[in-house]
Structure 1
């Protein structure tokens, strides 16, 4: 056990040092010489102070991201090695004979421990966002969102884990197939209820107040053959200075949403370009493709997880304190493997998302025919979020679900 702990912490330290040197020293984020002096060069639309702050904030933000993912793996592994997972299961079984309540007790212990241990990194993310004036949220408001996050995730996980381990006990060999089949309607249901049940827990949504602008947006929607009656705005200025707009939900629950910061900081033509971009996701059915891709990956992930869990438990079950796959104490191992697989597949998922976002940019410029507004939109997005125009390769690979600002502006400048 001491060897496992020692090697785990050593590998994590080496990993952290690598990304510290990579992000703060080695990575070249300078603009290629052929693009210097163009509208894609941040020196042309950011002040020297903004340039410095964007580099500093991006480095810190990216470093925290790369620290947080394997940090979760370390937590799950140590929870197993120190026998905490088995202890949580024992407490739950001693408290009640009802499996659903046992699941609730076990999951609360595990979730609370993970939340406490990851809190320093979460707080660091909030602290630096506040320090660089990206976040405008008070600490109490931020903590409120964190608490809501905990209980929403806890409620969803109780259902998932209870069903998952019931299937494991009943169908030892094929549990993963039945789990995948049940995940399909569950995924669609969550996607459907998110805009009307989950999102309003965090922010206030209401129809766009500027009716003149709404009429112009709805006119764009009419040109795109989108049956839209309302555009929603959400009160985000109490939490952030960043800009955003998005499409969420499916079917009749689909919503096009604008942050109020976007309305406050961008001009009308720029807002129309953003709306055209979001309409493209609806027209091209990107939400449906995303749900479909997630369902396929879930099948593959559950199959691999089942195979790996059986092999790991057979070989190292004793020092992980796991006797059987269908025992609740194996949950940290399940979460560890799912997280590893998700991280491994994220470059491919991000590449697919960047393709969709590029297609949406093309659609938006064809619909609005306003190149200047499109370029200035991306320049303002860079300024408001202090993001890098040309991020390091590994950051783009693992973090960027959108093309880089450099790629987006160069595409617009070359577009005819």
Structure 2
């Protein structure tokens, strides 16, 4: 039975991959609705023929890699279970140490290493793709260094989580999921507080914005938005990518306004101020805290479902998966498999909420800056720099897009511009005759 499960898992992954290849390369329609042709949302009006071709090529392959990556994790965890590797990792850990925590650390290292090696080819293809289309300018040595940093940071965080999780399963077989969730609340907040000052600097250098005149204007906007920031931070991304980005990160006293240096190099002042107004909107409208609350609610439901799914899977396929009970450390790949599936399945909902928040942020930014021309040109530059599709396929938007499409964002700015002109014209028409405007 174990061999059948492994065989069916491989076949299912192959069929899934072929479906998305067919969908993205032959079925999906990314052409613009006729009513938008010739508008400023039409990529033909701001991209040349070569850029249009590269955008379609790059987007199709990048989207295919996205849809292949997460199910590859599911396949790896399934094969680790049915092949007996998880049991072998446990046995090696028990033979190497007597202390329970050290055994957990050794087991998790072997599992993490196997998963890292299994997903490495797809990650390398993704890196190579970005290099070939000049989205990434990062050297291989720099890229592999970041991959290793990722590995060890994820390993350290997972070691804490897994140690606590299996301690809870030993204490309470029925309610471990609830206690795990209760502990996850302060842990999540702590990690959000820690990330800007401890984790992010491991990848990049952050320093106060060199352009003090621009910094003063951004801080003035931040003051209007009641964002507690004394500096705007610049991060050196130009040595890695040509893409553009900016964000407000952290919580409480660790809040930071951050600009990629690529954004500073490629956009003008008005465009940068629009982007910063957008990012500040997330702070003003408490999107970060709403996102944390939503994540915690989803994680509560997810842990409950994981608990039920674990019990059912062990009852039905425990022998085939080489798992005897929930509190067996060898069951960790099954937990990771279920959690990953649930996260993927819930991504359309979380993306809908995220797109709504991003739409709110765009609206806030345009009302603050009142410069639709700068907003539209910003979105056009973001499209060009990232080789992004203006009107992506439906499944790509549902599962991948946390922001509205560029078609939606640019069209919204055009609508705002029309309304403003209409108000201005109406105001002029209502002035008494003979009065100069």
Higher mean C-alpha displacement, 39-48 vs 216-225: 216-225
Query: Could you tell me how far apart the structure 1 residues matched to 2:387 and 2:348 are?
Result: 23
Query: Could you tell me how far apart the structure 2 residues matched to 1:172 and 1:93 are?
Result: 22
Q: How does 1:309-348 map to 2 (within 5 A)?
A: 309-348=310-349
Name the SS of the counterpart of 1:247 in structure 2: strand
Name the SS of the counterpart of 1:233 in structure 2: strand
Query: Could you tell me how far apart the structure 2 residues matched to 1:121 and 1:18 are?
Result: 18
Query: Could you tell me how far apart the structure 1 residues matched to 2:205 and 2:228 are?
Result: 24
**Contact 2:238-2:262 within 8 A present in 1 as well:** yes
Task: Determine the structure 1 residue equivalent to 2:434.
Answer: none
The yes-or-no answer on 1:170 pairing with 2:176 is no
Task: Determine the structure 1 residue equivalent to 2:283.
Answer: 282
Query: Could you tell me how far apart the structure 2 residues matched to 1:128 and 1:347 are?
Result: 26
**Contact 2:3-2:82 within 8 A present in 1 as well:** no
Task: Determine the structure 1 residue equivalent to 2:250.
Answer: 249
Post-superposition Cα deviations, 1:351-380, rounded to whole Å, max 9, x if no partner, equal 000000000000000000000000000000
Query: Could you tell me how far apart the structure 2 residues matched to 1:221 and 1:301 are?
Result: 36
Task: Determine the structure 1 residue equivalent to 2:239.
Answer: 238
Name the SS of the counterpart of 1:388 in structure 2: coil
Query: Could you tell me how far apart the structure 1 residues matched to 2:148 and 2:407 are?
Result: 37
Name the SS of the counterpart of 1:206 in structure 2: strand
Query: What residue ranges of structure 1 are gaps of 5+ in the alignment?
Result: none
The yes-or-no answer on 1:220 pairing with 2:218 is no
Q: How does 1:5-404 map to 2 (within 5 A)?
A: 5-404=6-405
Post-superposition Cα deviations, 1:381-411, rounded to whole Å, max 9, x if no partner, equal 0000001000000000000000000000001
| TM-score when normalising by structure 1 | 0.99
Query: Could you tell me how far apart the structure 2 residues matched to 1:133 and 1:299 are?
Result: 41
Query: Could you tell me how far apart the structure 1 residues matched to 2:224 and 2:156 are?
Result: 42
Query: Could you tell me how far apart the structure 1 residues matched to 2:58 and 2:352 are?
Result: 24
C-alpha deviation, 1:304, in angstroms: 0.4
Query: Could you tell me how far apart the structure 1 residues matched to 2:109 and 2:209 are?
Result: 40
Post-superposition Cα deviations, 1:316-363, rounded to whole Å, max 9, x if no partner, equal 100100011100000000000000000000000000000000000000
Higher mean C-alpha displacement, 150-159 vs 225-234: 225-234
Query: Could you tell me how far apart the structure 2 residues matched to 1:270 and 1:388 are?
Result: 20
C-alpha deviation, 1:139, in angstroms: 0.2
Query: Could you tell me how far apart the structure 1 residues matched to 2:56 and 2:111 are?
Result: 37
C-alpha deviation, 1:93, in angstroms: 1.4
Name the SS of the counterpart of 2:186 in structure 1: helix
Query: Could you tell me how far apart the structure 2 residues matched to 1:370 and 1:108 are?
Result: 52
Query: Could you tell me how far apart the structure 2 residues matched to 1:222 and 1:95 are?
Result: 57
CA RMSD of aligned residues (A): 0.7
Post-superposition Cα deviations, 1:269-309, rounded to whole Å, max 9, x if no partner, equal 00000000011011011111111111111111100000010
Name the SS of the counterpart of 2:138 in structure 1: coil
| TM-score when normalising by structure 2 | 0.94
Query: Could you tell me how far apart the structure 1 residues matched to 2:357 and 2:81 are?
Result: 40
C-alpha deviation, 1:42, in angstroms: 0.1
Higher mean C-alpha displacement, 359-368 vs 288-297: 288-297
Query: Could you tell me how far apart the structure 2 residues matched to 1:97 and 1:51 are?
Result: 60
C-alpha deviation, 1:2, in angstroms: 2.4
Post-superposition Cα deviations, 1:111-135, rounded to whole Å, max 9, x if no partner, equal 0000001000000000000000000
Query: Could you tell me how far apart the structure 2 residues matched to 1:143 and 1:319 are?
Result: 36
Post-superposition Cα deviations, 1:151-172, rounded to whole Å, max 9, x if no partner, equal 0000110000000000001111
Name the SS of the counterpart of 2:323 in structure 1: coil
Query: Could you tell me how far apart the structure 2 residues matched to 1:181 and 1:50 are?
Result: 49
**Contact 2:82-2:322 within 8 A present in 1 as well:** yes
C-alpha deviation, 1:228, in angstroms: 2.3
Name the SS of the counterpart of 2:259 in structure 1: strand
